[in-house]
Amino acid sequence: MKTLLITRPMPEPVLDKARARFEVTVRQSNLPLQDGELRDALRDYDLVMPTLGDQFSQQVFVDVPEPRCRLLANFGVGYNHIDVNAAQTAGVAVTNTPGAVTDATADIAMMLMLMSARRAGEGERLVRSGDWQGWHPTQMLGLHMSRKTVGIIGLGRIGQAIAHRCFFGFGMTVFYFNRSAKFMEFEAERCETLPELASKVDFLVTALPGGGETHHLVNSDAFDAMQPHARFINISRGDVVDEQALIAALQAGSIGGAGLDVYEHEPNVPETLRQLENVVLLPHLGTAALEVRTQMGLMAVANLEAFDQGQQLPNQV
Question: Looking at the structure, do residues 167 and 82 belong to the same domain, yes or no?
Answer: no
Q: What CATH number is given to the structural domain containing 250? A: 3.40.50.720
Report if residue 315 sits inside a domain. no
Question: Looking at the structure, do residues 43 and 152 belong to the same domain, yes or no?
Answer: no
Q: Which is nearest to 240 in space by CA: 266, 280, 206, 272?
A: 206
Tell me the average pLDDT of the chain.
Answer: 96
Residues 6+ apart with CB under 8 A from 190: 175, 176, 177, 178, 181, 182
pLDDT for 212 equals 82
Q: Which of 19, 27, 190, 284 is catalytic?
A: 284
With bands split at pLDDT 50, 70 and 90, how would you rate the model's confidence at 282? very high
pLDDT for 291 equals 95
What digits encode the pLDDT tens for the residues 136-188?
Answer: 999 999 999 999 999 999 999 999 999 999 999 999 999 999 999 998 999 99
Question: Looking at the structure, do residues 42 and 90 belong to the same domain, yes or no?
Answer: yes
What digits encode the pLDDT tens for the residues 49-91?
Answer: 999 999 999 999 999 999 999 999 999 998 989 999 999 999 9
Question: Looking at the structure, do residues 39 and 76 belong to the same domain, yes or no?
Answer: yes
Could you tell me the pTM of the whole model?
Answer: 0.91
Structural domain of 108: 102-281
What digits encode the pLDDT tens for the residues 18-27?
Answer: 999 999 999 9
Residues 6+ apart with CB under 8 A from 275: none
Given a cut of 90, whether residue 268 has pLDDT beyond it is yes
Whole-angstrom CA distances from 144 to 36, 148, 254 are: 51, 8, 19
pLDDT for 210 equals 83
Question: Looking at the structure, do residues 276 and 293 belong to the same domain, yes or no?
Answer: no
The span from the CA of 98 to the CA of 78, in Å, is 8
Active site residue 21: no
pLDDT for 209 equals 86
Report if residue 317 sits inside a domain. no
Q: Which is nearest to 218 in space by CA: 228, 200, 204?
A: 204
Residues 6+ apart with CB under 8 A from 59: none
Question: Looking at the structure, do residues 55 and 166 belong to the same domain, yes or no?
Answer: no
Report if residue 12 sits inside a domain. yes
Question: Looking at the structure, do residues 140 and 22 belong to the same domain, yes or no?
Answer: no
What digits encode the pLDDT tens for the residues 193-251?
Answer: 999 999 999 999 999 988 888 999 999 999 999 999 999 999 999 999 999 999 999 99
With bands split at pLDDT 50, 70 and 90, how would you rate the model's confidence at 121? very high
pLDDT for 229 equals 98
What's the half-sphere exposure (Cβ side, CA atoms, 13 Å) at 41? 30
* 261-272 mean pLDDT: 95
List the strands of the sheet with 71-73, edge to edge: 23-26, 3-6, 47-49, 71-73, 93-95
Name the residue type at position 223.
F
With bands split at pLDDT 50, 70 and 90, how would you rate the model's confidence at 95? very high
The single-letter DSSP state of residue 178 is -
- 62 phi/psi in degrees, rounded to 5: -65, -40
For the chain, the domain total comes to 2
Helix axes 12-19, 290-308, angle to 10 degrees: 10
Q: Which of 39, 237, 243, 293 is catalytic?
A: 237
Active site residue 284: yes
Contacts of range 23-30, beta carbons closer than 8 Å, 24 or more positions apart: none
Number of helical (H) and strand (E) elements in the chain, helices listed first? 13, 12
pLDDT for 99 equals 86
CB-based contact 256:278 (threshold 8 Å): yes
Active site residue 237: yes
| Strand runs labelled E in 81-217 | 93-95, 149-153, 173-177, 188-190, 203-206
